[in-house]
Amino acid sequence: MYEDVFNALEQLESERNIPKTYMLEKLQQALLKAVKEQMKKDGNPLAAEGTLVELDDKKKEIRIYICRTVVGEDEPEDEVDPYEELDHYITDEELEAERLAEAARLEAEAAAQAELDAKIAAGELEPTPEPEPAYKPRRNRAIELSLEAAQAIDPNAQIGDVLREQLETRTFGRIAAQSAKSVVIQAIREAERGMLADTFSSKAHQLLSGQVSRIDPRAGLVYIRVSGMNGTDADDLADAVLPPDEQVRGEEYYEGQWIKVYMLQVNRAIKRGPQVVVSRTHTGLVRRLMELEIPEISEGIVEIKSLAREPGLRTKVAVASMDPQVDPVGACIGSQSRRVERVVKELRGEKIDIIPYFDEPEKYVAAALAPAEIYSVIVEPGTKRCRVVAPDNQLSLAIGKEGKNAKLAAKLTGYKIDIRPSSEAIDHSSLNAAQLQQLSALLVETEAVEVAE
């Protein structure tokens, strides 16, 4: 009768990877709730407390029981107030005498308690905690069975045993199925959401490809339907959100647009399901794109030693080769600059400076200031400061627009860079107003940024 139910659960496990044991537990809870509600509607609310639903996976059967506890002779009910039936016989004088006697008794108890409190305060006696009132559980006679009735069912029944009476499942079949259907559907959704969250949590700090599905202009949010880079299976899709602070200034997004994003985290505290938070500004996006486009990096032949980025404007990447026969810069640029151009295209025209990494800080800083040519770099001993001398005609290029080139070089190398023109020591008057203004902010004090792996 219920074979189709168990077969459906097996199919869910094989097709959607939802554990059968998880679904059996949810189905049992749903059926139990539905049966209890139906028994309450049928006028048996107390008997519903003893309901038990059992799912037999081996025999593919669903059984419903009423469990009743075997008890001895009926226990006496709560004592009845002896005055309840005699109030009409007591005179007013007798009632007044009782009232005075009760008042005197309460007064005596209060005096005794005051004396006891005084002795405790004086340290003559130790306080004794008041005993907690004995808990007397409420009896439910609907799920009790007398010993005589129990032995008529099972001759070996004893007081305290629990006997199970199986109910006809057809009585609850349609009602239970209808009530449990929504619960089971919800359980499937929760299981799928949990697995989806686990799937994308394992892809944290990885590159994801997705299609813009919706744009919220009021909140500035961009919603993207993303999947893992290794497939586009429907079960491997999730709604991701690109927050305003993770969007590159100047980039335009439209519905249906395909873009690559860097995954930050999975937010599970969303009612509609897990939400993947992605970024277009993270330095890890450039790293993952280079790993995707440049085989030498993904294979470990060329290593990205450091990376500094000003999203939408320029990125500087320092690379080193693990193989002496491989030029790290040439490998990253590719034939006719095709490799780096694919990365630049995905970054919407963001410029990328690929420089060789040097252990010598003088060479490293000079290379980091590319494309400017540098005369000399002098590192202050024992510090992370250096003074750079650049030709006059290369000064603006070394500093960059709004100091961006120098700032990125400082982030990349970890050195505080002081750039000076070669003619400064001879004649300041040869510098124009723009160069003088730039020189006032030449000392760049930006700590190196650690690129997230």
pLDDT score at 118 = 79
Tokens found for residue 30: 């749903």
Q: Are 442 and 420 in contact (CB under 8 A)?
A: yes
pLDDT score at 292 = 93
Distance from chain centroid for Cα 110: 59
Q: Are 276 and 241 in contact (CB under 8 A)?
A: yes
Mean pLDDT of 62-91: 62
- 273 confidence band (pLDDT: 50, 70, 90): low
- 91 confidence band (pLDDT: 50, 70, 90): low
Q: Are 60 and 24 in contact (CB under 8 A)?
A: no
Q: Which residue has the higher pLDDT, 307 or 177?
A: 307
Q: Is 409 helix (H, G, I), strand (E, B) or coil?
A: helix
pLDDT score at 164 = 87
Query: What digits encode the pLDDT tens for the residues 443-452?
Result: 333 333 333 3
Distance between CA atoms of 258 and 374, rounded to whole angstroms? Answer: 41
**How would you classify the pairing of strands 416-421 and 385-390?**
parallel
Superfamily holding 369-453: K homology (KH) domain (3.30.300.20)
pLDDT score at 25 = 86
Half-sphere exposure of 251 (CA within 13 A, CB side): 25
Query: What digits encode the pLDDT tens for the residues 6-30?
Result: 888 888 788 777 788 888 888 888 8
pLDDT score at 85 = 45
Half-sphere exposure of 398 (CA within 13 A, CB side): 29
State the fold for domain 203-280. Answer: OB fold (Dihydrolipoamide Acetyltransferase, E2P) (2.40.50)
Whether the predicted pLDDT of 150 surpasses 80: yes
Q: Where are the domains of the chain?
A: 3-73+142-193, 203-280, 282-357, 369-453
Distance from chain centroid for Cα 220: 22
Query: What digits encode the pLDDT tens for the residues 195-224?
Result: 767 777 777 788 988 899 999 989 899 999
Q: Are 69 and 144 in contact (CB under 8 A)?
A: yes
Distance between CA atoms of 364 and 305, rounded to whole angstroms? Answer: 11
Superfamily holding 3-73+142-193: NusA, N-terminal domain (3.30.1480.10)
Percent helix, strand and coil across the chain, each to the nearest 5? 45, 25, 35
Mean pLDDT of 240-254: 92
State the fold for domain 282-357. Answer: GMP Synthetase; Chain A, domain 3 (3.30.300)
Q: Is 88 helix (H, G, I), strand (E, B) or coil?
A: helix
Position 394, amino acid: Q
Distance between CA atoms of 215 and 252, rounded to whole angstroms? Answer: 11
Query: What digits encode the pLDDT tens for the residues 94-116?
Result: 667 877 888 888 888 888 888 88
- 177 confidence band (pLDDT: 50, 70, 90): low
CB atoms within 10 A of CB 397: 16
Residue among 422, 419, 411 nearest 448 (CA): 411
Half-sphere exposure of 157 (CA within 13 A, CB side): 22
pLDDT score at 449 = 35
Whether the predicted pLDDT of 52 surpasses 80: yes
pLDDT score at 356 = 95
Query: What digits encode the pLDDT tens for the residues 155-169?
Result: 888 888 888 888 876
Query: What digits encode the pLDDT tens for the residues 423-450?
Result: 874 444 444 555 444 444 443 333 333 3
What DSSP string describes 195-248? HHHHHHHTTTTSEEEEEEEEEETTTTEEEEEEE-TT---GGGEEEEEE-GGGSP
DSSP 125: S
pLDDT score at 223 = 92
Query: What digits encode the pLDDT tens for the residues 289-345?
Result: 999 999 999 999 999 999 999 999 999 999 999 999 999 999 999 988 999 999 999
Hey, which of 46-55, 96-105, 357-366 has the most confident mean pLDDT? 357-366
Whether the predicted pLDDT of 127 surpasses 50: yes
Which of 116-120, 166-170, 374-378 has the weakest average pLDDT?
166-170
- 172 confidence band (pLDDT: 50, 70, 90): low
Distance between CA atoms of 86 and 263, rounded to whole angstroms? Answer: 82
- 90 confidence band (pLDDT: 50, 70, 90): low
Q: Is 85 helix (H, G, I), strand (E, B) or coil?
A: coil
Distance between CA atoms of 440 and 220, rounded to whole angstroms? Answer: 37
Compute the mean pLDDT over every residue in the chain, rounded to the nearest whole number: 79
Lookup result for tokens 């003619």: 423
pLDDT score at 282 = 94
pLDDT score at 134 = 60
Distance between CA atoms of 239 and 255, rounded to whole angstroms? Answer: 14
- 410 confidence band (pLDDT: 50, 70, 90): very high
Describe the strand order of the beta sheet including 351-356 as a list of residue ranges: 302-310, 314-321, 351-356
Distance between CA atoms of 241 and 216, rounded to whole angstroms? Answer: 10
pLDDT score at 176 = 57
Distance between CA atoms of 37 and 172, rounded to whole angstroms? Answer: 10
pLDDT score at 131 = 65
- CB-based burial label for 318 (10 Å; 0-12, 13-18, 19+): buried
What is the distance in angstroms between the CA of the first residue and the CA of the last residue of the chain?
55
Same fold, 3-73+142-193 and 203-280: no
Q: Are 421 and 438 in contact (CB under 8 A)?
A: no
